[in-house]
């Protein structure tokens, strides 16, 4: 709209000059044709982004936004036409035109051109640095209003909780003790190595660790591999029952599911399921989340238990979402819409200037000055209204609107 209006004003000024020199005055139809000849190409090029922007507002289910998008354009056009009919000008001369003419003369100086190049290189460097500093991560709190109870609860929890991260559990199904206990021992040793290195976990609760200490101290069993599984693992079942009723092992009783109820001084029944627990450290990036989980899962898979075995945590669903977003970010709806609109806003003004530069005559400097003088006011008007519309997004609590404002 601003481009068409500016081209119309340019044709009016040209028509007034022709009138003062007794040249033939263009008719209304000819003036409109000249206007569309100048503005039509750039309007056509940028119309696709305008359709996206207007379409989202025009077809949204939010009645306020839909009606605003439609009526705002009609209202601006009606106000502009009314102002023209009433010759409603605040001043007889335009400050904007004088400023643009002065600026167009300035850009022809070599010093100004060098300054523009330096500023452009600085901004480009910041842009490259920012692009390489982007981290892909998924934080569910960002999708909620910052003033919501949900987000406030998370902030208080993170502020007052200990430094450990999320808990994860390792589950095993119905095990065959002579076959699976040695494999459980290898997993326990692997978890202990992770705990010592402090790379991924900071605590572990594995009953097998305390069980080995118990049979060594109270049962005098130093070589469990050659002792526990004689006579069809009967001795293992006896020691396991005693362990779960001891002071050191009673805490692990809830981690077992047996065929029949466990009874004191009787061999432990068949184990239908068992649970091991670990606590991850606090991670700050998607890569650490994914690597930590895969490390645990790979250790379980490498053990090759004879029964069902897997790890699970409430946070896994969010970590999986992070992986999906990382792989399918180009198909991420919110990002696509924001990118389309942001690119449209960035290239819109440059296309208009480039078109007028191609249509102007003279050397490069004169064509640049003529382009700025002809279309500068329209671009400033469009940029000002766009800024006024987007600046309000900074006060939004919606993740979508905040992301669009940043882009």
Q: What is the pLDDT of residues 385-396, one digit of tens each?
A: 777 777 777 777
Return phi, psi of residue 171, to 5°: -115, 140
Residue, of 236 and 166, whose pLDDT is higher: 236
Q: What is the pLDDT of residues 50-105, one digit of tens each?
A: 656 555 555 555 555 556 656 666 676 676 666 666 665 555 556 666 777 777 77
Q: Is 149 exposed, middle or buried (0-12, 13-18, 19+ CB in 10 A)?
A: exposed
pTM equals 0.49
Q: What is the pLDDT of residues 285-344, one digit of tens each?
A: 767 778 888 899 999 999 999 999 999 888 888 777 767 766 665 555 566 666 666 666
Alpha-carbon distances, residue 75 vs 67, 79, 140, 367, 371 (angstroms): 12, 6, 40, 35, 29
Extract the tokens encoding 152: 């406030």
Burial 96-131 (b: 16+ CB within 10 A, else e): eeeebeeebeeeeeeeeeeeeeeeeeeeeeeeeeee
Residue, of 365 and 267, whose pLDDT is higher: 267
Secondary structure class of 204 (helix, strand, coil): strand
**191 band by pLDDT with thresholds 50, 70 and 90:** very high
Element (H, E) at 311: strand 309-312
Q: Which of 2-6, 249-253, 376-380 has the lowest mean pLDDT?
A: 2-6
């Amino acid at each position: 709209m601003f481009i068409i209006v500016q081209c119309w004003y340019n044709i009016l000024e040209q028509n007034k000059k022709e009138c003062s020199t007794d040249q033939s005055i263009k008719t209304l139809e000819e003036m409109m044709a000249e206007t569309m000849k100048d503005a039509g190409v750039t309007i056509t090029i940028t119309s696709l982004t305008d359709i996206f922007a207007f379409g989202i507002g025009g077809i949204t289910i939010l009645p306020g936004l839909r009606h605003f998008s439609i009526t705002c354009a009609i209202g601006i056009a009606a106000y502009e036409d009314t102002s023209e009919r009433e010759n409603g000008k605040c001043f007889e001369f335009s400050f904007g035109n004088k400023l643009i003419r002065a600026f167009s003369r300035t850009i022809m100086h070599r010093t100004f051109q060098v300054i523009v190049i330096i500023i452009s290189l600085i901004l480009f460097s910041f842009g490259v640095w920012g692009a390489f500093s982007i981290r892909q991560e998924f934080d569910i709190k960002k999708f909620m209003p910052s003033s919501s109870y949900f987000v406030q609860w998370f902030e208080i929890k993170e502020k007052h909780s200990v430094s450990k991260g999320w808990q994860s559990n390792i589950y095993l199904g119905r095990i065959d003790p002579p076959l699976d206990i040695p494999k459980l021992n290898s997993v326990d040793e692997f978890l202990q190595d992770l705990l010592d290195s402090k790379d991924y976990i900071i605590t572990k609760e594995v009953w097998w660790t305390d069980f080995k200490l118990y049979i060594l101290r109270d049962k005098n069993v130093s070589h469990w591999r050659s002792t526990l599984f004689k006579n069809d693992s009967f001795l293992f079942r006896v020691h396991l029952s005693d362990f779960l009723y001891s002071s050191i092992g009673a805490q692990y009783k809830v981690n077992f599911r047996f065929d029949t109820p466990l009874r004191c001084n009787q061999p432990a029944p068949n184990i239908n399921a068992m649970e091991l627990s670990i606590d991850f450290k606090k991670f700050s990036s998607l890569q650490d989340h994914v690597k930590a989980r895969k490390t645990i899962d790979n250790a379980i898979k490498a053990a090759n238990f004879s029964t069902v075995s897997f790890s699970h945590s409430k946070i896994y669903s969010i970590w999986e979402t992070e992986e999906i977003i990382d792989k399918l970010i180009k198909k991420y709806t919110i990002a696509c819409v924001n990118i389309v609109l942001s690119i449209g806003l960035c290239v819109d003004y440059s296309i208009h200037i480039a078109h007028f530069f191609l249509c102007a005559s003279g050397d490069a400097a004169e064509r640049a000055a003529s382009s700025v003088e002809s279309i500068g006011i329209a671009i400033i008007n469009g940029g000002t209204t766009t800024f006024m519309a987007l600046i309000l997004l900074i006060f939004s609590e919606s993740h979508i609107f905040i992301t669009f404002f940043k882009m």
